[in-house]
Structure 1
Amino acid sequence: MSLVINGTPILNFSPKAEKRLRFSALAVCISMIVVDHYYGNIFTTTALLLYAMFVFPAIYLNRNVQLKYFSHAQDPIIAFRIMSLLICAALVVVWTVAIIDHVLNPPVFPKEERLKELMGEHYESSQAMTQARLFMDDSA
Structure 2
Amino acid sequence: MKTKHFFTSLFVLLFSATLLTGCSSDSSSSGGDTSQLMDKWFYDTEDFTADVRFNANGSYQQFIEISGMTFSNTGTWEWVNESQKIMHISYETGPNAVAEAWFKFSNITDHGFSVKQSTDGVSYTTEARSYLDTDE
Q: Report the TM-score, using the length of structure 1 for normalisation.
A: 0.22
Q: Report the TM-score, using the length of structure 2 for normalisation.
A: 0.23
